[in-house]
Amino acid sequence: MRILIVEDETPVARQIASALTEAGHDPKTVRDGEAALDEVKKTPFDLIVLDIGLPGIDGFQVLKRLRAQHLAGRVLLLTARGAVDDRVTGLQLGADDYLPKPFAMRELVARVSALGRRYAEEPVMSLRVGDVTLDLASHNVHRGTQRIELSPRELMLLKVLMREPGRVFTRTELCERVWEHEHEYDTKLVEVFIGRLRKKIGDPPLIHTVRHVGYTIQSGN
Ligand code: CA
């Protein structure tokens, strides 16, 4: 698994990295929360080993931001021993498991592989059109290996289109699906959001205009 270690204490971080490497994983280490968020935006990780006590923003803040942005897979939180509140907060914020410090490296490796198994057992739920994939669990969108950052609304619009590739949606239909709970919407919004999606998805284009009708998503072949 590709694993991100977020730990400011260098000796601990080193030990974790070498234990995980030995167990056949591919770890990368960063020392603070901002660096962790940058790293995760660049490339997806299967798992993050996240220390709570960090310089700058703490592990809880990192976790909150990761979850809010639908980034990252599993998170194993490193908490202080006896700090029950920390564990509860961590789990509430969406951590998958926690490990109280200090811990034996053997235990860390065991927890990591248990989380990996859980990860592997979950069915892959993703939509694909051409080389664009949309992961329904994490809401990550990629074109090939390139990550595409979308706003929640753009994501919703893309999801509607990708669920039924080749089907032509009218502007009104898309409005109803994407702006479903809002009383006032304008079909011009659809044009704006389609424009943004096209720009972000890039070339060759996948979203096509069907004259006088609406839009459809389809790969060229
Ligand atoms: Ca620390």
List the beta strands (DSSP E) in the chain.
Answer: 2-6, 26-30, 47-51, 74-80, 97-101, 126-129, 132-135, 141-143, 146-148, 169-170, 207-210, 214-217
Residues 34 and 108 occupy one common structural domain: yes
pLDDT digits (tens, 9 = 90+) for 159-215: 989 988 888 999 888 888 887 656 566 778 889 999 999 999 999 999 999 988 899
Centre of ligand 1 to C-alpha 53, Å, is 4
Identify which of 71, 68, 76, 4 has the alpha carbon closest to the alpha carbon of residue 36: 4
Nearest to 162 by CA among 180, 143, 149: 143
Cα 30 to averaged position of ligand 1 atoms, centre (Å):
12
3-class secondary-structure state, position 79: strand
7 lies in the same domain as 113: yes
84 phi/psi in degrees, rounded to 5: -60, -40
Is there a single domain that holds both residue 211 and residue 137? Answer: yes
Q: Distance, CA 77 to ligand 1 centroid (Å)?
A: 11
Which CATH number goes with the domain that contains 36?
3.40.50.2300
Both 113 and 91 in one domain: the answer is yes
- Segment 115-165, tens digit of pLDDT: 887 666 555 578 899 999 998 878 899 999 999 999 888 998 999 899 888
What domain count does the chain have? 2
The three-class DSSP label of residue 170 is strand
Neighbours of 107 (CB within 10 A): 11
Token representation of residue 219: 């790969």
- What is the reported pTM? 0.56
| Domain end position, chosen among 74, 96, 118 | 118
Distance 94 CA to ligand 1 centre (A): 20
Residue 86 Cα to ligand 1 middle (Å): 14
Distance 54 CA to ligand 1 centre (A): 5
Range of the domain at 6: 2-118
| 7 C-alpha to ligand 1 centroid (Å) | 6
CATH of the domain at 172: 1.10.10.10
